[in-house]
Structure 1
């Protein structure tokens, strides 16, 4: 998932080169797009809860090593850590569990397409729930267009049955709504913590790790079957996708700003769909890529980019 909006203020750092920022931007999009493949492979040997638990714990450990190596400042405020705990739940625990469970019933490509609704969910949460943004009429139209794209993928004309795939698609939308809630919550309550982007990210992922550690007896003490592809997928999903990629994303936000950096949303579903087809042999119906294009149009409208680009 691309977490590139509404990020907290960061401490001054040496700006990376423009070329290196571009490389990090592309790498983050590729890794997050591949995360849906990693989840699908991991589910062949472990439960959805174990997938979520492993990626959070590995991500927290990876970022913790970086924080120690860079001697990052961490807040001592109980209030700040309270907000980080909320974000750990809504930005990591809830959506990771929902995504992992849902991918038992839908293809990795479809999951990656639905993940692209995150910017639209963020706009809705920032506008209706936290009141930190005012949306123009065209942006509201963009939200409606995004909903239309979701309906195209669900394909209600084929008949609505409360089977596993439909419930899974709704679960993924619940996960992206949780991402949107978290991004708007950041802007409202955690925009000035005094920590760097790395320290802030470590904070909420570490709190998610604490929650998962407490829930270990209830969620993950079940049989597992591990082989090389599953272990490699978990390491990539945790250390890279929930660890290093977040650092790349934070550097992109600092260099480009959140609006431009959020275009990583357009990379992840493309990578997810291509990997699903090439490696997992997944297939797609015509309505799924068409729905994805409609969602992208909705994102452009909801973020007011078309107006800004045309100078209207």
Structure 2
């Protein structure tokens, strides 16, 4: 799942081409791992409760990121204000959405969960423009949000009948998770965009504080029986060490080299990977409305992020470019 860019630097124009290749490889790997995370969660839920899955991925991710911090010998931030904001983000960017997605995947396919995850940029535009008011929504962005909502309705398919079964509730839980991501990304832009933290430190504090919260809640959430198989164990390890640890560093490297707007196009990779793995490995089935709704959502994202250039004025283009230095979108 991608994070905000706390302090971004760009390579010089004459930077070696191998640096750009390295960034591109990290970008692709991030998309592949985050897309696979929905498969990992689905398999892990065969032997663990949703809370146990979240506990495991956060603790393992924190340990992996903590190792990076130790190797780099980076000092922790001293300002209490930074710690306060990071505590808020630990809840809204990790604990809440991770729990919602894990619970939802008990009742929906991993492929459908990955499609819903792609609505994060739409939710971010709503939160940034209407809730935290860190940017002014333009008519094209409003149209993009409306189109994205229409795409979600196509995915839910209300014409099939809304009986409020667990599946429908689970789909709204997945949307609640992306709304939490959207709030967090807008919050980052408003409160932590200029803290000076490195990508590694930002990710470590975010995941580490979320892991600490889950550890405190252990008696209430995770002290239930588990059933571990080699397949479940491997998926939990990959979800935690890679999907909630190493990939955050890869994503931040991409954000710093390309900017958050380009880096957030990882959102387009994750549902493709998630759906493909769900069909090939888990034998999941797609209905026509799910990919159709996803296409509508993607078009809405392009509008909401000012990426469709329908005669944009230089002022709008300049403002969009400036916003490129603020936030990036998570994947799972």
- Report the TM-score range of the alignment, normalised by the length of the smaller protein: over 0.9
Distance 1:10 1:136 in 2: 26
For structure 1, the 5+ residue unaligned runs are none
SS in structure 2 at match of 1:9: coil
Match of residue 88 from structure 1: 90
Deviation at 1:193, TM superposition (A): 1.6
2:205 to 203, 206, 211: 203
For structure 2, the 5+ residue unaligned runs are 314-332
Deviation at 1:288, TM superposition (A): 0.4
Match of residue 304 from structure 2: 302
1:9 to 7, 10, 16: 7
Match of residue 223 from structure 2: 221
2:100 to 98, 101, 108: 98
2:273 to 261, 267, 271: 271
Distance 1:306 1:55 in 2: 36
Deviation at 1:303, TM superposition (A): 0.3
1:51 to 50, 53, 61: 53
Distance 1:307 1:136 in 2: 13
Deviation at 1:164, TM superposition (A): 0.6
SS in structure 1 at match of 2:300: helix
Moved over 4 A (4+): 10-16
Task: State the aligned residue count.
Answer: 309
1:23 to 6, 18, 25: 25
Match of residue 161 from structure 1: 163
TM-score (norm 2): 0.90
SS in structure 1 at match of 2:243: helix
2:72 to 70, 73, 82: 70
Q: Is the 8 A contact 2:124 2:183 kept in 1?
A: yes
TM-score (norm 1): 0.96
Q: Is the 8 A contact 1:73 1:196 kept in 2?
A: no
Deviation at 1:12, TM superposition (A): 8.4
Distance 1:13 1:305 in 2: 23
Q: What CA RMSD, in Å, does the superposition of the two structures yield over aligned residues?
A: 1.5
Deviation at 1:69, TM superposition (A): 0.5
Match of residue 235 from structure 1: 237
Q: Is the 8 A contact 1:95 1:179 kept in 2?
A: yes
Q: Comparing 71-80 with 271-280, which one deviates more in the overlay?
A: 71-80
Q: Comparing 70-79 with 95-104, which one deviates more in the overlay?
A: 70-79
SS in structure 2 at match of 1:306: coil
SS in structure 1 at match of 2:150: helix
